[in-house]
Structure 1
Amino acid sequence: MKGESLRTVLVAAAANLAIALAKLVAGLVGGSAAMLSEAVHSAADTVTELLLVVAVRRSGRPADRRHPFGHGKAGFVWALMAAVATLVGGAGFSVTNGLHEIGYGEDLSNLTPAYIVLAASFVFEGVSFARGLTQLRGEAARHRVGMLRLARMTSDTALKAVLFEDAAALGGLLVAAAGLVASQLTGSALWDGAASVMIGLLLLAVALTLIRANMSLLIGQAVTQRTETGIRAVLLAQPEVEDVVELLTMLIGPGEILVAAKIDFRDESSAAGVERACEEVDRRLRAQVPGVEHVFLDPTPTRR
């Protein structure tokens, strides 16, 4: 999964770098604030995706003595930094640049290059977005959940960031095109400036959503209720298990789950039987619940 996420991020980074340069040239030629905002938007997305490459690589490092559970949460740290880059670099510039144009006005000149770049950018962003959707569809089928639900809840921060940012990029391109058309028809740069502000607000919403998601993962987010129910069902299906006293889960990396449970074993179970049951539960959890990496079971009687 991490290899697939890395390919998705690299495709998005290559597309955004080319698009950023094209938008910059078109924005300078036409004097459009919305196009310059789109150029910064794509540049910020490129930086974001380079940080996501670091996130995928760092999270894939093996466990060591100081990090016995692996380096999965490093992916959350770098993904958080990527979201902050989108917030500061993309949203901040777009809003301030748009407000400046609304307040002081700019003379728009040749907008033909801008329209060509917007159309080409929409195609490239669409290809990147389609790549992310393909990966999301595959993972949704593997987890047997809906694509929208998985997009909201996934701990694969690289995939989530690419999907959200590409969706914002496609929306931003439509807003920029609408602003250019309105300014050209009315002769007023107000609409171009307003489009720039709207692009900034769109980036702000995406950045805050990703920051919130990564903060939750860093704090120690549990798995979804559906996954927890599946884990509990596997535990209760073991013949030696009387009851699940307490079940705790945590996402310790992209697609990696830690399970800790207090189990009330049947009184007639021997010590050897409990040991065998624990081994069987560990095996079945790893086989039936995607992402389970660590399982800790504590024999605990139910308090009556």
Structure 2
Amino acid sequence: MTVVIAFLANILVALAKTVAAVITSSASMVAEAAHSWADAGNEVFLLIADRRGARTKDARHPLGYGRSAFVWSLIAAFGIFTAGSIVSIMHGVQELSDTGPVESPAVAYTVLGIAFVLEGASFTQAMVKSRRLAKERGSSTWDYVLETSDTTLRAVFFEDMAALIGLGIAAGAIALHQITGVAAWDAVGSILVGILLGVVAIILIGRNIAFLVGSNASPSLRDRVGRALLSSEQIQRVTYLHIEYVGPNRLFIVAEVDLTGDAREHDVARSLRAIEQQIEQHPVVETVVLSLSVDDEASLDFGTPS
């Protein structure tokens, strides 16, 4: 739903900015129009990411299709960089020597104001969701958005935040053009919007690459999983624990555990499988693999719940 709201908002805003760019001949408005069209196109990739990543695992993909969400989100991030950042910077550089005035600035301000309301509504929705999830995990909103495996939520959050900042830059550039009579300010606004988009794109690209190459879970999540394992009456201690994201909010867990008692090998195998099946009932767990610990291996410490 977050992506759908962002997509509809970006389509409306892109249309309005394009009309305003034609009427005003403003470089900053052209940059903002390119920004919104790039965002709208990227939402399509994010919708594909959600759909592809939600497919259930099968024989060919025993860990599911979750990583495809990171692939499509990575493509969307490259879209921001190419269609948004590079286009805006190049157009701004080309317009630096232009001495023509911004025509009908009232049109530009009106469109920017409407765009701010629409983008603000989309950002508020993403912010509320991010803040709620961050609170549930005992994290700050900013840290949660940066670290979360929910790649579409992070993309929408950063795109909308960049959109609001970009609108402020564009309005300021047009105002400085009017006040000083120096047309270069409008071109500088376009360049600054492009740099802003480049920074956002690099952040999103980096986070998606991290998850694609195998990003480990945070220490807090590792501790929660470890304590959950130890809460089982059948597990006495944990000596090895590996947690990896295989999709947005999808975990692959490998652990070595020491079971209570001294059951026969056949019974131990059944116990391990029963524990695995129990853990896999959790909505964020894709697959669990448990094996037995060696006697002389040290137990892991997962702290105490805060």
TM-score relative to the length of structure 1 = 0.91
Aligned match for 1:275, one of 270, 277, 282: 270
Aligned match for 1:146, one of 122, 140, 144: 140
What count of residue pairs does the alignment treat as equivalent?
Answer: 296
2:280–2:286 contact (8 Å) kept in structure 1: no
Deviations 1:15-64 (A, max 9, x none): 11111111111111111100000000000000010110111111111222
Aligned match for 1:23, one of 17, 20, 25: 17
How far 1:220 sits from its partner (Å)?
Answer: 1.1
1:118–1:173 contact (8 Å) kept in structure 2: yes
Where does structure 1 lack aligned partners over 5 or more consecutive residues?
A: 1-6
CA distance in 2, matches of 1:105, 1:225: 56
Relative to 1, partners in 2 of residues 1:143 and 1:270: Cα closer, same or farther, differing over 3 Å?
A: farther
CA distance in 2, matches of 1:249, 1:302: 23
The match for 1:103 is 97
Percent of aligned pairs sharing the same letter = 34
Amino acid at match of 1:245: T
2:98–2:183 contact (8 Å) kept in structure 1: no
Relative to 1, partners in 2 of residues 1:168 and 1:302: Cα closer, same or farther, differing over 3 Å?
A: farther
The match for 2:8 is 14
Aligned match for 2:258, one of 244, 256, 264: 264
Indicate yes or no: 2:58 matched with 1:64: yes
The match for 2:120 is 126
The match for 2:192 is 198
What's the secondary structure of 1:103's corresponding residue? Answer: coil
CA distance in 1, matches of 2:129, 2:253: 26
2:9–2:119 contact (8 Å) kept in structure 1: yes
Aligned match for 2:109, one of 84, 109, 115: 115
Of 242-251 and 179-188, more deviation after overlay is shown by 242-251
How far 1:105 sits from its partner (Å)?
Answer: 3.8
Amino acid at match of 1:244: V
**Map 1:179-198 → 2, pairs under 5 A:** 179-198=173-192
CA distance in 2, matches of 1:14, 1:298: 49
1:264–1:300 contact (8 Å) kept in structure 2: yes
TM-score relative to the length of structure 2 = 0.90
How far 1:280 sits from its partner (Å)?
Answer: 3.8
The match for 1:170 is 164
Aligned match for 2:26, one of 28, 32, 39: 32
2:272–2:291 contact (8 Å) kept in structure 1: no
CA distance in 1, matches of 2:231, 2:93: 61
What's the secondary structure of 2:96's corresponding residue? Answer: helix
Larger helix percent: 1
1:132–1:162 contact (8 Å) kept in structure 2: yes
CA distance in 2, matches of 1:293, 1:75: 15
The match for 1:296 is 289
2:16–2:111 contact (8 Å) kept in structure 1: yes
1:261–1:298 contact (8 Å) kept in structure 2: yes
How far 1:254 sits from its partner (Å)?
Answer: 0.8
How far 1:241 sits from its partner (Å)?
Answer: 3.2
Amino acid at match of 1:25: V
CA distance in 1, matches of 2:269, 2:57: 28
**Map 1:78-89 → 2, pairs under 5 A:** 78-89=72-83
What's the secondary structure of 2:215's corresponding residue? Answer: coil
The match for 2:86 is 92
Aligned match for 1:43, one of 31, 37, 44: 37
